[in-house]
Amino acid sequence: MARVDNVTKGDLAQIITRLSKLENATPSSRTSVGRGVFRMYDASELLIEDGNFRVSGSASITGTLTGSGTVTWTGPSNWNGPTNIGGSCTITGTLQVNSTTTLNGAVTLNNNLTLGTGTIKAGSVTIDKLGTASGRIWSSGQMVVSGTSVYLGASTTVAGPLGVQGNINASGDVGGNTKSFWIDHPTKPGKQLRHGSTESPAHGVEYWDTARIGSNGKVTVTLPDYFEALTLQQQRNVQVTAVGQPFAVGADRISAGKFVVYGAAGRDVDWHVSAVRSFFDVEPDAA
Amino acid sequence: MAWSVWACDTVTGTRLQKLPQPAAFSWARALNEGSGGSATIPLRAANFAGLNLKSLSTPLARTWVLDWDGSAVYAGIIEDRIYNHKAGTLTLPHSDLWTILDRRLAIDHREPVAKVVHQSFTSLSSATVAKKMTQLGIAGLSDMNMLLPITFSADSSGPITRKYYGYHFAWLGDVLRDLMNEDGGTDIDFRPRWLANKLDWQMRTGSLTSGTFEWHLGVDKSGTIGLTVTEDSSKVATASYAIGEGSEVDKLARSRRVIDPPIPFLDRITALSTEDNEDALTRYAIGDLAAFQKPTEQWGFSTMASGTPAVSDLLLGGSAKTWVQEDPWLSTGWHNNRIIGFSGDLSEKVKLQLQPGVL
| Backbone φ, ψ for residue B294 (5° rounding) | -145, 160
Q: How many CA atoms lie within 13 A of A191 on its CB side?
A: 7
Q: Are residues A233 and A174 in the same domain?
A: no
- Please, which residues have CB within 8 angstroms of residue B146's CB and are 6 or more apart in sequence? B109, B137, B138, B139, B140
- Please, which residues have CB within 8 angstroms of residue A28's CB and are 6 or more apart in sequence? none
Q: With contacts defined as CB-CB under 8 Å, which chain A residues touch B341?
A: 6, 8
* Strand B212-216 with B319-324, pairing: parallel
Q: In what order do the strands lie in the sheet with A125-130?
A: A119-122, A125-130, A134-139
* The one-letter amino acid at B176: L
Instruction: For residue B262, say if its preceding peptide bond is cis, omega within 30 degrees of 0.
Output: no
Tell me A255's DSSP state: B
Q: Burial level of B146, CB count in 10 A (0-12/13-18/19+)?
A: middle
The whole-chain average pLDDT of chain A stands at 87
Give percent helix, percent strand, percent coil of chain A, each to the nearest 5. 5, 25, 70
Q: Are residues A19 and A87 in the same domain?
A: yes
Q: Which element (helix H / strand E) includes A259? A: strand A258-262
Give the rounded percent of residues in chain A with a pLDDT score beyond 70: 97
Cβ neighbour number for residue B292 with a 10 Å cutoff: 21
Q: Are residues A9 and A60 in the same domain?
A: yes
Q: Are residues A192 and A206 in the same domain?
A: no
The whole-chain average pLDDT of chain B stands at 94
Q: Are residues A94 and A150 in the same domain?
A: no
Give the mutation candidate from B274, B293, B337, B355 for the A interface (greatest A CB count, under 10 A): B274
Q: Are residues A83 and A124 in the same domain?
A: no
Is A15 part of the contact surface with chain B (CB cutoff 8 Å)? Answer: no
Taking residues A231-247, report their average pLDDT.
Answer: 94
What angle do helix axes B172-181 and A12-23 make, rounded to 10 degrees?
A: 110
> Of A103, A130, A157, which closes a domain?
A103
Q: Which CATH number does B212-232+296-356 carry?
A: 2.40.30
Which pLDDT score is estimated for A97? 83
pLDDT tens digit sequence for B197-246? 999 999 999 999 999 999 988 665 556 788 999 999 999 999 999 999 99
Which pLDDT score is estimated for A287? 62
* Strand B71-78 with B89-95, pairing: antiparallel
Examine the pLDDT at B341 and tell me if it is beyond 70: yes
Task: Say whether A4 and B340 touch across the interface (CB within 8 A).
Answer: yes
As a whole number of angstroms, the distance between CA A129 and CA B190 comes to 94
Give a yes or no: residue A287 inside a domain: no
pLDDT tens digit sequence for B81-94? 999 999 999 999 99
Taking residues B276-290, report their average pLDDT.
Answer: 93
Examine the pLDDT at B1 and tell me if it is beyond 80: no
Q: Are residues A96 and A124 in the same domain?
A: no
> Of A57, A75, A103, which closes a domain?
A103
CB pairs under 8 A between A and B: 119
Which pLDDT score is estimated for B19? 97
Task: Say whether B248 and A13 touch across the interface (CB within 8 A).
Answer: no
Least confident of A123-127, B63-67, B228-232: A123-127
As a whole number of angstroms, the distance between CA B210 and CA B215 comes to 17
As a whole number of angstroms, the distance between CA B35 and CA B30 comes to 6
Give a yes or no: residue A114 inside a domain: no
Give a yes or no: residue A218 inside a domain: yes
Taking CA–CA distances from B287, the nearest residue in chain A reads A3
Nearest beta carbon to residue A34 from set B186, B248, B274: B248
Q: Which element (helix H / strand E) includes B137? A: helix B126-137
Which pLDDT score is estimated for B195? 97
A122: which strand partners? A125
| Backbone φ, ψ for residue B67 (5° rounding) | -115, 135
Is B106 part of the contact surface with chain A (CB cutoff 8 Å)? Answer: no
Q: With contacts defined as CB-CB under 8 Å, which chain B residues touch A30?
A: 245-247, 250-252, 276
Q: Which element (helix H / strand E) includes B323? A: strand B319-324
pLDDT tens digit sequence for B168-192? 999 999 999 999 999 999 999 999 9
Give the rounded percent of residues in chain A with a pLDDT score beyond 90: 29
Domain holding A206, by residue range, is 202-279
In this prediction the ipTM stands at 0.77
Q: How confident is the model at residue A79 (pLDDT cuts 50, 70, 90)?
A: confident
Give a yes or no: residue A113 inside a domain: no
Taking CA–CA distances from A16, the nearest residue in chain B reads B174
Cβ neighbour number for residue B71 with a 10 Å cutoff: 14
| Cβ atoms of residues B56 and B16 within 8 Å | yes
Specify the number of domains making up chain A: 3
Which pLDDT score is estimated for A90? 86
* Strand B15-19 with A250-251, pairing: unpaired
B84: which strand partners? B89
Give a yes or no: residue A285 inside a domain: no
Q: How confident is the model at residue A197 (pLDDT cuts 50, 70, 90)?
A: confident
Residue B348 or A153, more confident: B348
Q: Burial level of B357, CB count in 10 A (0-12/13-18/19+)?
A: buried
B83: which strand partners? B90
| Cβ atoms of residues B343 and B35 within 8 Å | yes
Give a yes or no: residue A265 inside a domain: yes
Taking CA–CA distances from A28, the nearest residue in chain B reads B246
Helix (H, G, I), strand (E, B) or coil at B115: helix
The whole-angstrom distance between residue B32's C-alpha and the CA centroid of its chain comes to 4
Residue A147 or B303, more confident: B303
Which pLDDT score is estimated for B85? 97
As a whole number of angstroms, the distance between CA B66 and CA B193 comes to 10
Which pLDDT score is estimated for B199? 98
Give a yes or no: residue A86 inside a domain: yes
Domain ranges of chain B: 3-96, 101-206, 212-232+296-356, 239-291
Task: Say whether A25 and B245 touch across the interface (CB within 8 A).
Answer: yes
Which pLDDT score is estimated for B359? 35
* The one-letter amino acid at B144: M
Give a yes or no: residue A262 inside a domain: yes
Task: Say whether A8 and B353 touch across the interface (CB within 8 A).
Answer: yes
Which pLDDT score is estimated for B128? 98
| Cβ atoms of residues B200 and B304 within 8 Å | no
CA of B242 vs chain A CAs: smallest distance (Å): 12
Which pLDDT score is estimated for B358? 45
